[in-house]
Structure 1
Amino acid sequence: MTIMESTPTAEELAHELLSLAKRQAGRRLIVAVSGTPGSGKSLLSARICAEANRQAGKDADVCTVLPMDGFHLSRAQLLELPDPDEAQRRRGAHWTFDAESYVTTMQRIRDDTERVLAPMFDHAHGDPVADSVCIEPWHRIVMAEGLYAHVGAEPWAAATQLADELWWIQPRDAELTQHRLVQRHLDAGLAHSETEAELRIMTNDSLNAAYSSEKRIHSTRTILN
């Protein structure tokens, strides 16, 4: 795989996806999209996927996104962990996800040609909802996006290795990334002031970013965003 670093448009990336998918000989193309918190991976994945569907033709639906956020442990599950207070404070850390279910879902996406159901995170209620994402047989491109989608440590590695492409989103502007995270925490009600949001970033998001960056395997493409 060729490793590239560039600033392509969503249109160019969508065109590349469609070209790659044509070479898959009947298999789905799986693109694992990752990046540190606030890098814009979720928004960019959605834009690229929508553009791929547009380029594929009228009413085409060849691309879909699998958000890793759906595999968060529920709040009830966090309370069952050895240190529930720490688990709630560190929600978003790799050990607060149901990594095994994520791996199983990725294996089904790779192996099956039938419908695959997956959970989606409901931000209004703060918990995942089962079977809210439908990956249909006609979805030939699946963009699996999330903070740990490139991690080479178990149990995540089993899912990472299933991807055909590994796209890493690299922020160009650290100040903008910080602003995105602050606003995200305020909008989600996880913080009630910018100061509180910045503290959460320092004591949780930064730790998660470090783990994701240190444990990730080499990407096939780095996208400056």
Structure 2
Amino acid sequence: MSQNSETPSSTDQTVSELADYLVSLLDASRHDNRRIIIAVSGTPGSGKTYLSGLLCSKVNSRCSDMPAVVFPLDGFHLTKAQLAAMDDPEMAMKRRGSAWTFDAEGFVATVQRIHEQAHLETLVPSFDHAIGDPVADEIAIRPDHRLVIVEGLYAHVSDEPWAQLDRYVSERWWVEPRSREASIERLLKRHIDTGLSADRDAAALRFASNDSLNAQYAETCRLPPTRIILN
């Protein structure tokens, strides 16, 4: 995989240019029955989820067969019941979002399946913030989805079992926030809006005791990205 770096002037320009690139990949692979899997990652609040959704919509708007779909890691959060059954359930809930609070093996196995069995439909879970848990079989990855955008904080991690994803993905795209301060503010607002934190002070405490640690791990233990996207 070749190294590349993006320094776009705006989000709209970034999305348009990246969509052009993805459409060109789809055109080039139209007759070889190959599924393109792009692993998008970035620190909490970087905008990776939002950008992945925009990219998916933009590609689908340019292709009559609607070939793109987003596959989020969030659906592989361990449930609250699973966390409650751990040796230290209070700590497990406080550190929810850390790598060890995900079903990493299940996530990797599912990415392997959509890579190796592109001719079959695969149902994957989503995450419902209203209930705070995954929802099984919520997203359908159909055979006509030739572009799958796999999105999540640990999609580039070099530790096992995450590192096995590299066997199945075509490229690794890292979303780098133009302003770390702005990305943190977005994250704090999201914690409040989703009910994860009662107020800004609680959200800031959660960031300091959990999100920042997860971000550091994802950055320091990542495989080299093939593309860096400023957002």
TM-score class, shorter-chain normalisation, is over 0.9
Number of equivalences: 223
Structure 1 position 55, deviation (Å) = 0.9
Q: Which amino acid aligns with 2:205?
A: L
Q: Which amino acid aligns with 1:139?
A: H
CA contact (8 A) 1:73 1:97 kept: yes
Residue 110 (str. 1) matches residue 115 (str. 2): yes
Matching residue within 38, 55, 62 for 1:55: 62
- Which residue of structure 2 aligns with residue 121 of structure 1? 127
* TM score, norm. by length of structure 2: 0.94
Residue 4 (str. 1) matches residue 9 (str. 2): no
- Which residue of structure 1 aligns with residue 40 of structure 2? 33
Determine helix, strand or coil for the equivalent of 1:134.
Answer: strand
Q: CA RMSD in A?
A: 1.0
- Which residue of structure 2 aligns with residue 15 of structure 1? 20
Residue 173 (str. 1) matches residue 179 (str. 2): yes
- Which residue of structure 2 aligns with residue 220 of structure 1? 226
Residue deviations 1:98-132 (CA, integer Å, cap 9, x gap): 01110111011100121011110011100001100
Matching residue within 29, 52, 55 for 1:45: 52
Q: Which amino acid aligns with 1:82?
A: D
- Which residue of structure 2 aligns with residue 98 of structure 1? 103
Determine helix, strand or coil for the equivalent of 1:144.
Answer: strand
Structure 1 position 81, deviation (Å) = 1.5
Q: Which amino acid aligns with 1:224?
A: L
Residue 156 (str. 1) matches residue 158 (str. 2): no
- Which residue of structure 2 aligns with residue 130 of structure 1? 136
- Which residue of structure 1 aligns with residue 200 of structure 2? 194
CA contact (8 A) 1:102 1:159 kept: no
C-alpha distance in 2 between matches for 1:11 and 1:55? 10
Structure 1 position 22, deviation (Å) = 3.0
Q: Percent identity?
A: 49
- Runs of 4+ in structure 1 off by over 6 angstroms are none
- Which residue of structure 2 aligns with residue 70 of structure 1? 75
CA contact (8 A) 1:72 1:128 kept: yes
* TM score, norm. by length of structure 1: 0.96
Structure 1 position 86, deviation (Å) = 0.6
